[in-house]
Chains A and B, each alone.
Chain A
Amino acid sequence: MVSSVLKIALVYPELLGTYGDGGNGLVLAERVRRRGIAVELETVGINDQMPAASLYLLGGGEDGPQRLGADLLGRSSFASRVGDGSYVFAVCAGLQLLGTTFAVEGDDEYEGLGLVDARTSRGLRRSVGELVVRVDGRPLVGFENHGGVTTLGESLVPLGAVERGVGNDGVVDGFRTATIWASYAHGPLLAMNPWFADQILTTVLGEELEPLATVADRLYDERVATLT
């Protein structure tokens, strides 16, 4: 990235933004802005060209919208831009469609973007509830609501071990590559976990960030105390 403005793109929130997932974009942009770094948060609509961005955000969606989102992403420059080094933070359906296949509407398999070696099938029942994942030694706290069971290929590293809830399969949640973070914790995961938001920003910006104390620290402590 040579631009002096950090560009974050919120992709198809009309399709992939079922439950406050757009909050992650707001949190990231605001945490950058408050440190005096120029940032632009762009919303990519379903009729828009995929813009260049340092970081793309994918949220969750219902079956039909998820299928349309996968189709539109597949026809866009998204995959090639990620291949060229842009970062991705994805939750829920966004996680599923980055993989090779996912299941929608019954047990029909649908082709994903294939950016990672992950396959999602439909679980016997929905996974709904609080999700706690141990990431780099710290609890990541969130809420999950999905019907998928995701199996990672041998070389794909999960985001962390599940301590409460289900995540991918009851054992691990999400995945992590050099440029992608993905979790089943939907909604404003980064609002509840300010340290994780900063970890993503540090990686994307390639520089250490000044500490930023906000009321989100108090929320994180409260959620960790409640859930662990």
Chain B
Amino acid sequence: MLRPSLRHSVATGAVRAVNRLSRLLSLGSGTVIGGRVGLAIAPDLLKELARGRVVVLVSGTNGKTTTTAMIAAGWGGGVTTNATGSNMPEGHVAALAESRSSSVVLEVDEAWLGEVTRATKPRVVTLLNLSRDQLDRANEVRRIAERWRDVVASERETTYVANANDPLVVYAAELAREVEWCDVPTPWTTDAMSCPHCTQPLHFTVDSWWSECGFKKPDVLTSTLREQLTLGGQSYELHLGLPGEFNEVDAVMALTALCCLDVAVPDALATISALTTVAGRFSEVLWRGHHLRLLLAKNPAGFTAMLATLTTNDDDVWISINARLADGHDPSWLYDVPFEVLRGHRVYCFGDRRLDLAVRLDYARVAYVVVDDESPLPSSSGVVNLVANYTAFQEWREWSVPC
């Protein structure tokens, strides 16, 4: 039997070798299979690889990848991160095996937060939001909140950076020894209409919320986003290269986490503001002569926020919907997205589930075109916004070339 340290060395080497081979053979981005091999050799490999490093974790339904990229950018220097979006332990192991940097920021699938927190003993965990997403895999949102709450209660050395306007996140984080509450716009509260403590209706006003049992929005807020960002008693203007309020929220959560690491806010804000694309999101590409802007939205809260950025004109919009394993096999969520805001636009429907989308748009009284393989597409002079859910987005990235 191999000694633990030798076993970890063998496992780490295996992660690197298998991932390199996977990339060479163009089998994938080389982050999952190597991680799996490494964990098979040494099940506690994640713990071993995280030992002695400063780890930040980011979890939540929406904004994980962007917030993680913002923390990595704002932290500066060589930061180890799982930029490919592989956000389960095999992806974390792969990221940590590839880099020896002492600064680590990892995005974590909501369902895996407990295991990854216990293994990596993070300095900071950022809890963004919780809403309905892929319920065929994750079942119920509140069960995730319960599991987070258990992690927070048991991992007492970690500082939690948490969204004060998401009652399910507050429920998860309220038992923390150290918590920095972020007062950030959180328009999607549909999954938190009843109190997680007493099940009675939660009451919402413009800037607060409470339950009759006493559960309420936290009073002491570390950061607040209104017209300006207030953080640590200072005010800052936000002028991000990334569009939309949801990206501002991610920036505030990232900056609050960076504050916990004693990073200077003005410098971090400048770096974060310079980001214009994250993992292909918001990037402009060419596809068969069409100039497209690739937008990712994969659940009701994310789609609602994304559509709000598209409603300023009556251009054509392309939407691509799949329902594969990574998307969730159930596209029912299309009926939780207010597609009615697209009235006046014409929507071209792509993807495996383009008919489900077309039916949704038809009932919303939005003009639509179902694009089958041979369908002609109109030529457009400007940039067309293409909104795609997870695997559809990956496909469009592969099919297109960057501008």
Contacts and interface: CB of A to CB of B under 8 A. Distances in A.
A186 B336 CA distance: 13
Interface stretch (A12-20, A76-84, A172-180): A12-20
B201 A187 contact: no
Nearest to A146: B139
Contact of A145 (B199, B330, B359, B368): B330
Contact of A14 (B140, B193, B196, B333): B193
Given A64-B196, A68-B199, A68-B201, A214 B329 contact: no
B47 interface: no
Nearest to A185: B332
Most B Cβ at <10 Å: residue of A47, A62, A216: A62
Nearest to A23: B335
Contacts of B333: 19-20, 187
A35 B356 CA distance: 22
A186 B330 CA distance: 10
Nearest to B197: A64
Interface residues of A, number: 37
A163 to B, nearest CB: 18
A129 interface: yes
B332 A14 contact: no
A14 B190 contact: yes
A143 B355 contact: no
A interface, over-half SS: mixed
Most A Cβ at <10 Å: residue of B140, B199, B365, B370: B199
Contact of A65 (B136, B193, B329, B330): B193
Contacts of A129: 136, 329
B194 A22 contact: no
B362 interface: yes
B136 A145 contact: yes
A1 to B, nearest CB: 24
Interface residues of B, number: 32
Interface string B198-226: 01110000000000000000000000000
A130 B330 CA distance: 8
Interface string A111-147: 0000000000000001011100000000000010100
Given A18-B132, A20-B335, A27-B363, A222 B200 contact: no
B11 interface: no
Contacts of B356: 191-192, 219
Given A23-B335, A191-B335, A215 B199 contact: no
A194 B168 CA distance: 36
A40 interface: no
Contacts of B139: 126, 128, 145
B135 interface: yes
Contacts of B135: 18-19, 145
B142 A219 contact: no
A217 to B, nearest CB: 10
Contacts of A222: 355
Contacts of A7: none
A26 B335 contact: yes
Interface in A8-43: 14-15, 17-23, 26-27, 30
Given A19-B330, A143-B329, A128 B355 contact: no
A215 B190 contact: no
Contacts of B363: 23, 26-27, 30, 191
A216 B358 CA distance: 8
6 contacts: A20-B332, A23-B332, A26-B364, A143-B136, A215-B370, A218-B355
Q: Which 5 A-B pairs have the closest CB atoms?
A: A187-B332, A23-B335, A20-B335, A14-B193, A20-B332
